[in-house]
Amino acid sequence: MKKLIVVGSTGVIGKEVVELMKSQYQVIEVNRSSGDYKLDMSDTKAVESMFKEIGGFDAIIATSGYGKWGSIDEHTIQDFHDGLNSKLMGQVNLVMIGRKYANEGATFVVSSGILAQYPVEGGLSLGVINAGLEAFVRGAALEMKSMRVNAVSPSFARETMELMGMDSSTGVPAIEFAKLYKEAIESGKTGEIFRV
């Protein structure tokens, strides 16, 4: 069975990804506080140790990372650094370090988000992070000839809106995003941003 690493497997979207993929792949679950491996993906040493321990793998999906949600007045400079270090560099770490350990033809899927193209009040940090990540995916795909790298850009998950106490009627069920990660792996494409 092919090996799939899911970083962020306990999250709203990651849970659905694991459910969708587990009949086809040996899924290795990774989070900070639970899973087959526990690590913070912003910690490059921990990421390197994880890949060394796992050995070759065929696919990795990252549905993980932090970015500040808040108005410009609520943003400190440190908030930008924290989000860039977590959601942007955390996922970049998984690709940059993971490619040394991945099997030939392996595929990487990271998570960006709709705020890269469509700003909303409160989403300043995440917009910057998501746009940077999408640029990384396009650039890395050009040079990673024997592997593929794509991003899924979720809009707003219905379950997340419910957790935030918002009206969730315009939300997209997280399973619909999970299907995009599967498509990103199976499509044969690289350098693409998958959206519902």
Residue positions counted in the chain: 196
111 vs 140: CA distance, rounded Å: 15
Burial class (CB in 10 A: 0-12, 13-18, 19+), 13: buried
Helix 44-54 crosses helix 89-98 at what angle (to 10 degrees)? 40
Q: Whose Cβ is closer to ligand NAP: residue 42's or residue 190's?
A: 42
Least distance in Å: CB of 40 to ligand NAP?
4
Q: Which residue has the tokens 């069920």?
A: 173
Q: Which residue is nearest to ligand NAP (CB)?
A: 11
109 vs 64: CA distance, rounded Å: 11
Binding residues for ligand NAP (CB under 6 A): 7-14, 31-34, 40-42, 63-66, 86-87, 90, 111, 113, 154, 156-157, 160
Least distance in Å: CB of 156 to ligand NAP?
5
Report the 10 Å Cβ neighbour count for 78. 9
Q: Whose Cβ is closer to ligand NAP: residue 9's or residue 107's?
A: 9
Least distance in Å: CB of 145 to ligand NAP?
27
Provide DSSP, 81-102.
HHHIIIIIHHHHHHHHHHTTTS
Q: Whose Cβ is closer to ligand NAP: residue 146's or residue 170's?
A: 170
Least distance in Å: CB of 14 to ligand NAP?
5
Least distance in Å: CB of 144 to ligand NAP?
21
Q: Whose Cβ is closer to ligand NAP: residue 63's or residue 188's?
A: 63
Q: Whose Cβ is closer to ligand NAP: residue 89's or residue 140's?
A: 89
Q: Whose Cβ is closer to ligand NAP: residue 90's or residue 132's?
A: 90
Structure tokens at 194: 């998958």
Identify the CA nearest to 185 among candidates 36, 59, 3, 99.
59
Report the 10 Å Cβ neighbour count for 176. 16
